[in-house]
Amino acid sequence: MAETVATTAAEQLAVEREYVARLYERLDELRAEKTEELAAVRRSRSSGNHQNRSERDAFASHYEDRLAQLNAVDHRLVFGRLDTDEDERRYVGRIGLATEDHQRLMVDWRAREAAAFYQATAQHPMGVRRRRHLILEGREVTALEDDVLDPQMLDDEGVLHGEGALLAALNQKRTGRMSDIVATIQAEQDRIIRAPLPGVRVVQGGPGTGKTAVALHRAAYLLYEHRERLRKAGVLIIGPSSSFLWYIERVLPALGETGVVMSSLAELFPGVSAVPERDPEAARLKAGLEMAEVVARAVKDRQKVPGADQVLRVDTHRVTLTRKAVKRARDKARATGKPHNEARNTFVKILLRELTEQLGEHLNSTSGNVMDRSYLAEDIRQSRDVRVALNLAWLPLTPQQLVDQLLSKRHYLESAAPHLRPAEVEALLRPAGAPFTVADVPLLDEAAELLGDLDAAGVRVRAEAEREQRRSAENAERALQNMHQSLEDVGVDGVVSAQDLTAFNTVTPHRMTAAEAATADRTWAYGHVVVDEAQELTPMQWRVLMRRCPMKSFTVVGDIAQAGSTVAARSWAESLGPFVGDRFALEELTVNYRTPAAIARAAAGVARAAGLEVSSPRAVREGEPPVLTRVGEDGLVEGVLEQVRAELEVVEGGLVAVIAAEDRLPELGAALARALPGTVGAGVRRLDRQVVVLSAWDAKGLEFDAVVLAEPAALVHEAGGGVGNLYVAMTRPTQRLRVVAAGELPAGLQQD
């Protein structure tokens, strides 16, 4: 496209406004087109045969996706323009746009032609003379910001200067939701975002260096660059908590990507919403890879040879289930190499055959009659004694049952974990039926691997259920009842509830997206996994994630120094070594975009005083140092209140967080809510309130305009002496940090 000669700033702005208006016009046209196409498909959906209908479903789903994408990109649709050596003007925006006759209007930021927008420098201009940032409010261009890469243009009057687009973005008030950085991705970030798909890539970076932003933009980039492959297999994003996922959940849709699965470590096992693991000793014990062996032994312990031969009633007759026969059947079943519930098939079949023969011989010798074998087999199957005996020897189990019993019955635990000391067994034991904790999730996952599908303990009920479901929901209901019956037929009477069965057979509804199907299916193999705050993961949690991506294509982002739990690894090599050896690429981010330098220095000082090695990223802004307020023993709540009130005035509509040790949250939350009605949100999912009261753990990965830190020593104390959580809390503000302390101060925080 030829350069329009426009020299004054006003003229340039007018040119851009016109062009941007044209882009929005095209966006509106496309939306109208897709809306019409979708309506037409929906109108015709009810007619035609089954195949026509499913083709139309596929079309409808395609139009819906495209429409959702077009609707999501309205905000800052376009943000850049490249002027090339060849006098081409190339606009860069959230998606690619072309005219009806395929003339390019705007390139997608992820396209190769857009890479120079992020990477070109004066030393390496990449064929670019000028990079222009377009700053929009609504659909209107309000400012332009140019980087001139061609020295000859520096004298050109038309080149604009002004506050950097980056600084403008960083100085924006926080909203409680993370926003994308697509307009201002920096070169070191862009290199990671566009790195190739295969392999494990670890991104280490201090607080605020954009690790989360990079991880999310990388997911969007990979979905664009490897669309076919990743659309089907899906991308999984793992975050530390549901509040964190809530915080980041709008970023990918704004980048036009909706088909990503997000999960916290607590939600990773379908059907279980795990609670935090409160006991550090239990957390430590459940973290290590030995736990995989414990679960394996626990499963084997449930394949039992009885203490003595058993006489069983079959109608009016008797048969004997010998220990030898059970042992032989068990060995053969184990030799199939199949998981417990599937191998049970072999076990049951062998013993049913053996007992049937015994019954036949017995009847033959007592009455001289040769009975039909299928009748005898039926009699054996119907016998309650037989069912009970087989169940006792080899019980079909759900992972939930296995783990619940392992952790609540001393004899199971002692047998499966002979290496544990009595005090350790005590730390793990808990009442039956207690809610599963985050640390149990890997145990459940391990158990599910070793147990296999419950439905395999008989007939192929899952396939049957899926066929039925396709016909109608009512039929599917019936199918589940059939399953129950089928399982009863092989002797699972009274062991598996209909609920268990339903949980095991999450039936596929009509048009399940890849993301929905993946969420419901524990064995789903993702095409790529992004792990945020990865420093917190235990070896057992890594094991679960490695299973979710057999191709081992990972983006792992985190900061070893921010680890809050005592079981976290001390290096990336320690975390990943057991799974990929040294086959991972380590990248580092070096610029802190969030925390002003003065606050970052204070936080690093506290970390270093405790012997924690922290990187010191260069901060983009200097800012104000933290201010410490000392209060009397009973003055903490009042002191915090006073600071919050003051900060609310300063940040004018921005967000203020109060971060405190977990046991102080209720009191602080209640006092703040009383003093500032309608303004305060406590804990997760209330990040949209102006004042948020939360723990350091929940604050991980988040940011606020101002942070009021209540009693810093308590954060160290609750983490068993570790300063990781305090370091996290101190690095959350984008503008101001206020510390209120009644008690002793942690080393490094003392006032000069």
Ligand X SMILES: Nc1ncnc2c1ncn2[C@@H]1O[C@H](COP(=O)(O)OP(=O)(O)OP(=O)(O)O)[C@@H](O)[C@H]1O
Q: Which residues are annotated as a binding site?
A: 205-212
Nearest Cα to 291, choosing from 441, 394, 405?
A: 441
303 near ligand X, rule: CB under 6 A:
no
Listed ranges 165-173, 300-308, 541-549, 568-576: which one lies at the site for ligand X (CB under 6 A): 165-173
Residue labelled with tokens 């009644």 = 742
**How far is residue 739's CA from residue 752's CA, in Å, rounded to a whole number?**
15
Residue stretches of the annotated binding site for ATP? 205-212
- 478: Cα separation from own chain's centroid: 35
Assign 3-class secondary structure to 392-432: HHECCCCHHHHHHHHHHCHHHHHHHCCCCCHHHHHHHCCCC
Tokens of 26: 């095209």
- The count of C-alpha atoms lying within 13 angstroms of the C-alpha of 310, restricted to the half-sphere facing its C-beta, is 20
The minimum distance between CB 238 and ligand X, in angstroms, equals: 14
Alpha-carbon span 659 to 103, nearest angstrom = 53
211 scored as a contact of ligand X (CB under 6 A): yes
| Count of residues of this chain found to bind ligand X when the rule CB under 6 A is applied | 23
Question: Exactly one of 20, 193, 213, 441 binds ligand X (CB under 6 A); which one?
Answer: 213
- The nearer residue to ligand X, 34 or 133, going by C-beta atoms, is 133
Indicate the residue whose CB is closest to ligand X: 210
Q: Contact letters (x/-) for ligand X, 690-719, by CB under 6 A?
A: -----------x-x----------------
Nearer to ligand X, 298 or 687 (CB): 687
The single residue among 12, 189, 241, 643 that binds ligand X, judged by CB under 6 A, is 189
Strand partners, 741: 630
CB within 8 A of 73, min separation 6: which ones? Answer: 27, 93, 94, 95, 254, 256
Kindly tell me which residue out of 153, 170, 296, 597 binds ligand X, with binding defined by CB under 6 A.
170
Please pick, from the candidates 12, 69, 209, 725, the single residue that binds ligand X as defined by CB under 6 A. Answer: 209
Rounded Cα gap, residues 83 and 387, in angstroms: 78
Using CB under 6 A as the binding rule, whether residue 181 contacts ligand X is answered as: yes
Nearest CA to 541 out of 444, 622, 636, 628 is that of 444
With contacts defined by CB under 6 A, name the span among 19-27, 211-219, 253-261, 388-396 that binds ligand X.
211-219
φ/ψ of 651, rounded to 5, equals -80, -5
Structure tokens at 411: 């004899």
Residue 652 CA to residue 675 CA, distance in Å, equals 18
Which amino acid, residue 738? R
Is 210 a residue that touches ligand X (CB under 6 A)?
yes
CB of 520 to ligand X, least distance (A): 29
Strand partners, 318: 313
Does residue 733 bind ligand X (CB under 6 A)? no
Rounded distance, CA 143 to CA 360, Å? 92
> Is 356 a binder of ligand X (CB under 6 A)?
no
Q: Of 203 and 386, which CB lies nearer to ligand X in the complex structure?
A: 203
- Under 8 Å between Cβ of 167 and 236: no
Among 129, 132, 344, 594, binds ligand X (CB under 6 A): 594
Residue among 77, 166, 389, 637 that touches ligand X (CB under 6 A): 166
* Strand partners for 107: 92
Least separation in angstroms between residue 414's CB and ligand X is 41
Is residue 208 involved in binding ligand X (CB under 6 A)? yes
Say if residues 518 and 237 touch (Cβ distance below 8 Å): no
* Shortest distance (Å) from residue 608 CB to ligand X: 17
268's tokens: 């990773």
Of 109-117, 201-209, 297-305, 596-604: span binding ligand X (CB under 6 A): 201-209
Q: Which position has the token pair 């739990």?
A: 565
Stretch that binds ligand X, among 35-43, 203-211, 309-317, 444-452 (CB under 6 A): 203-211
166 vs 359 by CB, closer to ligand X = 166
Residue whose CB is less far from ligand X, 247 or 347: 247
Instruction: Draw the binding track, 504-543, toward ligand X (x: CB under 6 A; -: no contact).
Output: ----------------------------------------
Three-class secondary structure assignment of 672-718: HHHHCCCCEEECCCCCCCCEEEECHHHHCCCCEEEEEEECHHHHHHH
β-sheet bridge partners, residue 303: 394
Helix (H, G, I), strand (E, B) or coil at 310: strand
739, 748 contact by CB (below 8 A): no
- Compute the least distance from the CB of residue 682 to ligand X, in Å: 21
Choose which of 207, 360, 527, 654 interacts with ligand X (CB under 6 A): 207
Per-residue binding letters, 607-626, with ligand X (x by CB under 6 A): --------------------
Binding mask 551-590 for ligand X (x = CB under 6 A): --------x--x----------------------------
Rg of the chain over all Cα atoms, to the nearest angstrom: 31
Of the candidate spans 51-59, 62-70, 177-185, 466-474, the one that interacts with ligand X by CB under 6 A turns out to be 177-185
Give the bridge partners for 693, in sequence order.
658, 682
Closest CA to 682 of 673, 674, 692, 672: 692
- Both tokens of 289, joined, read 């890879």
Task: Tell me the three state secondary structure of residue 472.
Answer: coil
- Our finding on whether 186 is near ligand X (CB under 6 A) is yes
CB of 539 to ligand X, least distance (A): 22
45 neighbors 56 (Cβ within 8 angstroms): yes
* Residue 381 CB neighbours (<10 A): 19
Pick the closer one to ligand X by CB: 239 or 399: 239
Q: What gap in Å lies between CA 118 and CA 161, rounded to an integer?
A: 18
CA distances from 183 to 71, 256, 555, 672 (A): 19, 14, 22, 37
Q: Please, what is the minimum distance in Å from the beta carbon of residue 222 to ligand X? A: 17
Nearest approach in angstroms of CB 557 to ligand X is 7
- Phi then psi for 262, rounded to 5 degrees? -115, 140
Beta bridge partners of 98: 104
- The DSSP 8-state label assigned to residue 593 in this structure reads S
Closest distance of CB 20 from ligand X, Å: 21
Nearer to ligand X, 244 or 436 (CB): 244
Q: Which of 731, 737, 742, 746 binds ligand X (CB under 6 A)?
A: 731
Q: Which stretch binds ligand X (CB under 6 A): 164-172, 255-263, 281-289, 514-522?
A: 164-172
Nearer to ligand X among residue 371 and residue 591 (C-beta): 591
In whole angstroms, the minimum distance from the beta carbon of 406 to ligand X comes to 35
Which one of residues 584, 593, 697, 727 is an interface residue with ligand X (CB under 6 A)? Answer: 593
Q: What is the Cα–Cα distance from 144 to 134, expressed in whole angstroms?
A: 5
Q: Is 355 in the site for ligand X (CB under 6 A)?
A: no
CB of 734 to ligand X, least distance (A): 7
Instruction: Specify the 3-state DSSP secondary structure of 7.
Output: coil
Is residue 263 near ligand X by the rule CB under 6 A? Answer: no
Compare residues 6 and 610 and give the one whose CB is closer to ligand X: 610
Residues that bind ligand X (CB under 6 A): 166, 169-170, 181, 184-186, 189, 205, 207-213, 559, 562, 593-594, 701, 703, 731
